[in-house]
Chain A
Amino acid sequence: MGLRSFVALPVDKQGTVVRLSFDHAGKTKKDQLVISAAHGISARQTFLLGMPYRLSPGGNNRLGDASFLYRQIWLQQDHINGTDRFAVLGGMLLSTEDNRDPAVQIGVVSTHFRDRYELDFDVLYQAGIAHRPDAARYDLSWQYRLAPTEYPKWGIAKEWYGVLELNGRWREGSSITHQVTAGIQWVHPTWVLEGGVIKDINSEKEFRYLMSLRYHF
């Protein structure tokens, strides 16, 4: 799974993964905390929840919109050295304040994993209800296992992954913003610590910094 998206995460039946992430904008100081959770109903069905909390330099902190998604793996082909998965996504974006309308979300996510690298791609469209503008996003994430170069014969070793992503964010009435994200993941059997730097490609916005912790129980 990449840094910017949560929907590619594999979750086992009755398993739960929680992620706490912090997104820091250097100059404007518009930071964001996001709590995400994924629960496996079965090996192929997952509920995903995301709740952002926006921190503003003027003290006008507020909850963002809660994202509810259902993911159904449609195709899965496991191999001796990897896996290929394709899933569909559907759900809602619900406002935590009365003056914001909700949105319906639909999308797809695919994963291609071979040997030491993983490629994830997801696209999500949010159709606004009433006065809410439409929005969309895409994430193309490449992760490569830096260490260990070779697994031990038995046992689960800790791993380091390098991550490089191309991301896009669009809102109705604006043009799409393309971004590059580069980062690193420290992967343990039950938790992952990861971080990265985000830069807009086609606008003058500042660098942003992302750090998150995932825990599986």
Chain B
Amino acid sequence: MRVLKILGLFVLPTLLLPARPALARTVEAEVYGMTCAFCVDTLQREFKKMDSIASVDISLKSKMIRLQTEKDRPTIETIRQTIRDAGFTPEKITIIDKE
């Protein structure tokens, strides 16, 4: 019983943590029109709102965004539309690796 209580102390915090999507895909998109830090923050925020995206990296140097996503979500078209709604132009989108 005491052992169960101790195990519970370790397990309980993990149950309270938000569920992370099962990462299965890295997507990179070339984005035209990214011009400054203030402008591109929107992209980061909009993609981070999606529960199918675990991480978002932005490169103003190479004009790219890199997303760690679930296997099939979001769709490529959703990614394109999110970029357009932020005021930029999506160009080449590449799936880097897929489990």
Instruction: Please report whether the interface of chain A is mostly helix, strand, loop or mixed according to DSSP.
Output: loop
Instruction: Please report whether the interface of chain B is mostly helix, strand, loop or mixed according to DSSP.
Output: mixed
Interface size on B, residues (CB 8 A): 28
Residue from B32, B66, B86 in contact with A79 in the complex, judged by beta carbons closer than 8 Å? B32
Which of A88-96, A183-191, A205-213 participates in binding chain B? Answer: A183-191
**Chain B 20-54 per-residue mask, 1 if CB under 8 angstroms from chain A, else 0:** 00000000001011011111111010100000000
By a CB distance below 8 angstroms, the chain B residues around A153 are 59, 61-62
By a CB distance below 8 angstroms, the chain A residues around B44 are 156, 189
Given A118-B35, A157-B37, A189-B40, also A43-B57 (CB < 8 A): no
Q: How far is the CB of A147 from chain B (nearest CB, A)?
A: 11
Q: A13–B32 contact, CB under 8 A?
A: no
**Chain B 55-99 per-residue mask, 1 if CB under 8 angstroms from chain A, else 0:** 001111111001000000000000000001111110100000000
Q: Which residues of B contact A (CB under 8 A)?
A: 30, 32-33, 35-42, 44, 46, 57-63, 66, 84-89, 91
| 13 A-B residue pairs with CB within 8 Å | A10-B87, A11-B87, A12-B86, A42-B85, A43-B85, A78-B33, A78-B88, A80-B30, A80-B91, A151-B61, A154-B59, A187-B38, A190-B41
